[in-house]
Amino acid sequence: MNLIFDCDGVLADTERYGHLPAFNATFARFGLPVQWTEEQYGEKLKIGGGKERMASLFADPSFAAAIGDADRTELLVTWHKAKTAAFKQLVVDGKIPPRPGIARVIHGAIDAGWTVAVASTSAEESVRAVLANAVGASDIPVFAGDVVPAKKPDPAIYELAVERLSLDKRDTLVVEDSRNGLLAATGAGLRCLVTVNDYTRAEDFTESVLVVSELGDPGRPPIEVLANRGAARPGDYLTLDDLRACVEEAR
């Protein structure tokens, strides 16, 4: 059995408590005439990749005029590097706790001999920081950032993970939190479990095998099952047996 996790919104609630404040801190640092609200950032999440979200600023004529004739590619690289550093500091400062169940499920899967990996559109430095904070030091493979030419919902990142790790798609489950991630996973021929968050709860997850509020942990309130199209029969929290059941019909 193989598990591939997205990072943002899956390993931790990074969007609201990490990426958004890191973007805004970067804008302020460089004197850029923009600060994203939570609602505006929710719209930006439809764009895969941090540099790509920053690049969307240039669609506003007033912003483009304020920047002038500077090399946009160079500016984006500089801004994104600063944003990544700001994000990593938030992780180090403990501002972005892991989502419930992540440490339990990942450690349990590794102990059971499963292959575990992470595939994300975020910068690799940011992903590795979140992963280390969530599960501790590990040799879990990470596929992230510009390692593929197209970001989610393009399936390239998952196709790369499958190829590099020689995974059997029939025994591989992706854990995502957004429709873009779901489309990337299913586009690569993989089954997908979705753990929603406040930004993505209302999105369309028709193609998923299971949709839950979180993975859950013993002692926490029971998880909410929003949709179930597979063989899993979750209790108060998801178990490895539930995750295995999500791919049973694909075998």
Domains (range + CATH), the chain? 2-13+96-250 (3.40.50.1000), 15-92 (1.10.150.240)
Contact 209, 246 (CB under 8 A): yes
Q: How open is the CA angle 16-243-98, to the nearest 5 degrees? A: 25
Q: Is 6 a catalytic residue?
A: yes
Q: What percent of the chain has pLDDT over 90?
A: 87
Mean pLDDT of 120-127: 90
Give dist(CA 234, CA 182) in Å, integer: 20
- For residue 95, what is the DSSP state? -
Distance (Å, whole) CA 101 – CA 154:
27
Please report the DSSP string for 115-129 in residue order. Answer: EEEEE-SS-HHHHHH
pLDDT tens sequence across 129-141: 999 999 997 899 9
- Using CA atoms, how far residue 73 sits from 19, 20, 21, 64, 145, in Å, is 20, 21, 22, 13, 16
Over the stretch 178-229, which tens digit does the pLDDT of each residue have? 999 999 999 999 999 999 998 899 999 999 999 999 999 999 999 999 999 9
Q: Considering 6, 154, 177, 217, which one is annotated as catalytic?
A: 6
Is the pLDDT confidence value at 119 over 80? Answer: yes
- Enumerate the β-bridge partners of residue 5: 118, 175
Q: Is 139 a catalytic residue?
A: no
Q: Which entry of 8, 154, 177, 217 is annotated as an active-site residue?
A: 8
What is the arithmetic mean of pLDDT over 50-77?
Answer: 92
Can you read off the two tokens belonging to residue 196? 């929603």
